[in-house]
Structure 1
Amino acid sequence: MDEIREKLSLPENGKKLLLHSCCAPCSGEVMEAIIASDIPFSIFFYNPNIHPKKEYELRKEENIRFAQKHGIPFIDADYDVDDWFARAKGMEMEPERGVRCTMCFDMRFERTALFAHENGFDVICSSLGISRWKNMDQINDSGIRAASHYDGITYWTYNWRKKGGSSRMLEISKDEAFYMQEYCGCAYSLRDTNKWRMANGREKIKIGEKYYGQP
C-alpha cells in the first residue's frame, strides 16, 4: 500500500472528511488510501440516479460490506429517485459526460455538502473521479460548486487515479469479489449501454450476475 500512495492530508487544514461513495469498486481504493493516512472519515451514500432499484441495492450493500469490514461509519441517504428524474427531464437524450451528468453530480454533491455542513465535516470528496469513464474536471467543478455554498466546507480535488490508484482499485475489487456494474448507473446510461451492446452483437446487461474475479 505504501508503495502506491504517499501519506495524504486534507486540504485547508481539514480535520474530518465526508466521502461521497458511488459504489464499492470505485471507493475501495480511495478508502484504503484514506485509512492508511489516518484521516477520520465517513462514507456518504447518496445516489438516486442508480436504476433500477435492484441495481441500487446491490451497489449499496457491497459498499456497506466493505465499510463494515474496515469499521468506517456508513451514512445511507435517501433514494429520492423521483426528484432525480424530475431534474433530468428534458435531458433524456444527452450523451454521457454531458449536461445530464453535470446535473447528477450537482444533485449528489449538494446533498453531500449539506450533510457535511450540518454534521461537523469540513472536507468533502467523492470516489467518482477514480473511474476512467468520468470527466474529472466535470466532477471537481460540481464538488467545488457544492462546497462553495457553505463557509468552512472544502471540496478535495485529489486525483485518486494517480500513483497506481486505478490499478489498485481493480485489485481490491477482485480480492473482494465485488459486484461488477456494467453501466454508469442511471436509466439512460443503461438504455444507451444496452443499445451499444446489441449493435455490437452482445447480450443486454443482466443485473446482479457479474462479479469481479469471475472467469
Structure 2
Amino acid sequence: MHKERMMHTAMNKRNYQKELEAKISFHAGRGEVPSLLLHSCCAPCSSYVLEYLSQYFHITVLYYNPNIYPEEEYHHRVLEQQRFIGQFPMKYPVSFIEGTYDTKRFYQMAAGMERLPEGGARCMACYELRLREAAEYAKRLGLSYFTTTLSISPMKDAQKLNEIGERLAKEYGVAYLHSDFKKKNGYLRSVQISKEYGMYRQDYCGCIFSMNQKSVNPLESIQTYEEREER
C-alpha cells in the first residue's frame, strides 16, 4: 500500500521545468517577449537563470534579501550581483533593482523560529517574505511575471517555492513563472559560470541561522536530489 501511494505521488508530481518550457514556447510562438521580475538570492544562483531566461524575457532583477548577515556580506553580494549583470552577455538588456535592506523585518518574521533547522518553517516564511516583495514590485511595475532564482539550489524545495508563488500570484493578480532551475543541470551550470567569471560563492544561504548550520555541501545534495527524481 505504501509503495502504491509513493508511485501515485510520483506519477502526479508536477514537472515545473516542463511548465516553464511550455510557457516559453507559448510566447515565442506568438512572437512575444514578456517582462519578468526575477528575485535573485545571489549572483551565483542567478548566473544560469539569467543565461537561460534572458533569451526569452525582458528581465528586471530584484535583489531583495534582508535575511543576509552580516551587513558587510550583504553589500558584498549586492556588488557581485551588479558586476555579473554588467559583464555577462545577454540577448535582451537586464535591469537591476536593489530592495531595502530591512533586517528588522526579517528578524520580526523569524521571531520564535530561531532554533528551527534549515529548510523548516523559518525558511518557508523567509521565501514568502522575499517572493511577496517580488510580487509587489511586479505589480507596481506592470510586469508580466515574477519568479525567483531560489529553486536552483539542491537544498531548496521547488514544490514549496512554487506553491508560495502561486498563492501570491492570486493575491496580487500577477502571473507567477513556475520553475525548478536545478533541472537540466542548472545548479552545475551555475557553478561553471561562477568559476568562469571569478565569482564570489558564499558557503551559507545568508542569514545568521544558516551561518551556524553551514555543514551541508550543495554539490553532495545534487546527487541526493537526482536520485529522488529518478524514483
Aligned to 2:47: 28
Q: Secondary structure at the match of 1:163?
A: helix
Q: AA paired with 2:62?
A: F
Contact 1:43–1:75 at 8 Å: present in 2 too?
A: yes
- Superposition pairs for residues 41-60 of structure 1, below 5 Å? 41-60=59-78
Aligned to 1:170: 191
Q: Secondary structure at the match of 1:181?
A: coil
1:87 alignment partner, one of 100, 105, 109: 109
Is 1:17 matched up with 2:36? yes
- Superposition pairs for residues 38-77 of structure 1, below 5 Å? 38-69=56-87, 70=89, 71-77=93-99
CA distance in 1, matches of 2:67, 2:147: 18
Q: Secondary structure at the match of 2:94?
A: coil
Contact 1:24–1:63 at 8 Å: present in 2 too?
A: yes
Contact 2:36–2:59 at 8 Å: present in 1 too?
A: yes
Q: AA paired with 2:133?
A: R
> How many positions carry a matched residue from both structures?
188
Aligned to 1:97: 119
Aligned-pair CA distance for 1:178:
0.8
Contact 1:8–1:34 at 8 Å: present in 2 too?
A: no
Contact 2:34–2:56 at 8 Å: present in 1 too?
A: no
Q: Secondary structure at the match of 2:61?
A: strand
In structure 2, do the counterparts of structure 1 residues 17 and 11 end up closer, same or farther at CA, with 3 Å as the change threshold? farther
TM-score calculated relative to the size of structure 1: 0.81
Contact 1:10–1:123 at 8 Å: present in 2 too?
A: no
CA distance in 1, matches of 2:51, 2:103: 30
Contact 1:129–1:135 at 8 Å: present in 2 too?
A: yes
CA distance in 1, matches of 2:61, 2:130: 13
- Structure 1 residues not aligned, in runs of 5+: 1-5, 198-215
Q: AA paired with 1:33?
A: Y
TM-score calculated relative to the size of structure 2: 0.76
CA distance in 2, matches of 1:85, 1:136: 24
Q: AA paired with 2:206?
A: G
Aligned-pair CA distance for 1:164:
2.5
| Pairwise CA RMSD | 2.1
Q: Secondary structure at the match of 2:184?
A: coil
2:100 alignment partner, one of 61, 78, 91: 78
Instruction: Tell me which stretches of 4 or more aligned residues in structure 1 moved more than 3 Å.
Output: 6-14
2:135 alignment partner, one of 93, 113, 116: 113
Contact 2:58–2:94 at 8 Å: present in 1 too?
A: no
Q: AA paired with 1:167?
A: L
Per-residue CA deviation, residues 44-64 of structure 1 (Å, 9 max, x unaligned), is 110000111111111111111
- Structure 2 residues not aligned, in runs of 5+: 1-19, 28-32, 217-231
Q: Secondary structure at the match of 1:97?
A: coil
Contact 2:134–2:146 at 8 Å: present in 1 too?
A: yes
Q: AA paired with 2:36?
A: L
CA distance in 1, matches of 2:79, 2:72: 11
Aligned to 1:3: none
